Amino acid sequence: MCLEHGVPEAECGICRPELAGQLAPGQALQIRLGSPEAAGRAGIETAPAGTAEVAEGVDCLAELAFNQTRQARITAPVEGFIESVAVDLGSRVEEDAQLAELLSPAMAEAVAGAVLTHQTLERERRLRAERVTSEEDLQRAEAQHRSACQQLRVLGFTEAMIDELGANPDQPVLLPIRAPFAGEVARSPAVRGSRVAMGEVLFEVVDPSVLWAMLKVPEQELGRIRTGLPVELTVAAHPGRTFNGRLTWIAPEIDEQSRMVSARAEIPNPEGRLKAGMFGRARILTGAPTASVVIPAAAVQRIEGRPFAFVALAPDLFEARALDICSRHGDRVEVVSGLQPGEPVAVAGSHQVKSQWLLSRLGAGCTHE
């Protein structure tokens, strides 16, 4: 027996800390604190190991990004001046909502050309009805009018807008810049009164209601995954919460440096809690849920890179139990072996028990040796 710590000397973690590296999952060393009151002063709190339905899966890192099919950079279709701006950075917009108005001499010229071809077409129709002009002249006038209107339709003008401008020639020709879909204004460099070049970005609109989780999957796990599998995502900004989605794409090639394959999951984000650019951890579920032992992530401490939990045997006595852990699910860790449901493990203050153990490795061991 270790007379100082009151435990079998072969199991005393203070006396023989070097044994930690030899422990198999389920094996343990005992750590005696200075007094029964020491745990309370150190803020050590315990919680029983629990059980939960956990599905088999592949764990990987994730980075959130906007859904590229719902991300649009809206550019100026022609050179001109920003006449008005109706939205600001962060504004929520509906599909086809007006974002700004653009004034352009080129547009005014195009509208005048369309009005002129419309007048010519009407004249040719009257002359054709009177058999004064040929069918070929009428067809040519129709083609010219279609071409002129098509150019304006590409710019966003409707037939009604063209007719209204033709009926009011003194009215300024303003091109409305509209949102292609409902979403949020992520960039808004457009400034009222500024001159813009054709192709210059005026706004960026994104739809954050569904984000992409870009995953990195180890090469050896490729045989276990396929598109359509459920994906669970956790992020540091929302501890204890899991966001669910589905795997929608697996890259056709493996990165030569990392030996990882890129994959993508679509994650619904109706509340907007997730943000593009966030990092997280994802789990691609590959099997049916089974009952597993789980403990709070704060209960796991690592010694020499190996996971341990400190099981309370008495107020001042803990067992440093080697574990085999599988994966983390939010703020919980799945334990494959080494722990039974209901066993009390140190959660809050578990690092204090670890510190006591590490002190012995620096020479603060048994005084009777």
**pLDDT for position 330:** 64
H or E stretch including 135? helix 135-155
**Orientation of helix 105-129 relative to helix 159-167, angle to 10°:** 90
For residue 201, is pLDDT > 90? Answer: yes
Count of alpha carbons within 13 Å of 224, Cβ hemisphere only? 15
Q: Which of 85, 127, 121 is nearest to 103 (CA)?
A: 85
Spelled out in words, what is the top-level CATH class assigned to the domain 69-206?
mainly beta
- In 3D, which of 93, 54, 87 has the Cα closest to residue 230? 54
300 token code pair: 């796991």
pLDDT band at 369 (very low <50, low <70, confident <90, very high): very low
Q: How confident is the model at residue 145 (pLDDT cuts 50, 70, 90)?
A: confident
Pick from 38-47, 65-74, 295-304: least confident: 38-47
Q: What is the DSSP letter of 304?
A: T
Q: 1-51, pLDDT tens digit by residue?
A: 776 677 787 777 777 777 777 888 998 888 888 777 777 777 888 889 988
Q: At what angle do helices 135-155 and 105-129 cross, to 10 degrees?
A: 150
Whether the pLDDT of residue 233 is over 90: the answer is yes
pLDDT digits (tens, 9 = 90+) for 79-104: 889 999 999 999 999 999 999 998 88
| 274 pLDDT tier (thresholds 50, 70, 90) | very high
How far is it, in rounded angstroms, from Cα 350 to Cα 42? 9
User: In whole angstroms, how far apart are CA 182 and each of 64, 78, 188, 275, 360?
Assistant: 20, 24, 16, 17, 62
Mean pLDDT of all residues in 211-223: 94
Question: Do residues 264 and 214 make contact, with C-beta atoms less than 8 angstroms apart?
Answer: yes
What DSSP line would sit under 257-277, residue for residue? Answer: TT-EEEEEEEEE-TT--S-TT
**Domain boundaries in the chain?**
9-52+291-361, 59-68+208-289, 69-206
Q: What fold characterizes domain 9-52+291-361? A: 2.40.420
| Superfamily designation of domain 59-68+208-289 | Efflux pump adaptor protein, beta barrel domain (2.40.30.170)
Name the CA dihedral angle for 153, 159, 161, 166, rounded to a multiple of 10 degrees: 110
Q: Distance between CA 148 and CA 64 in Å, rounded?
A: 44
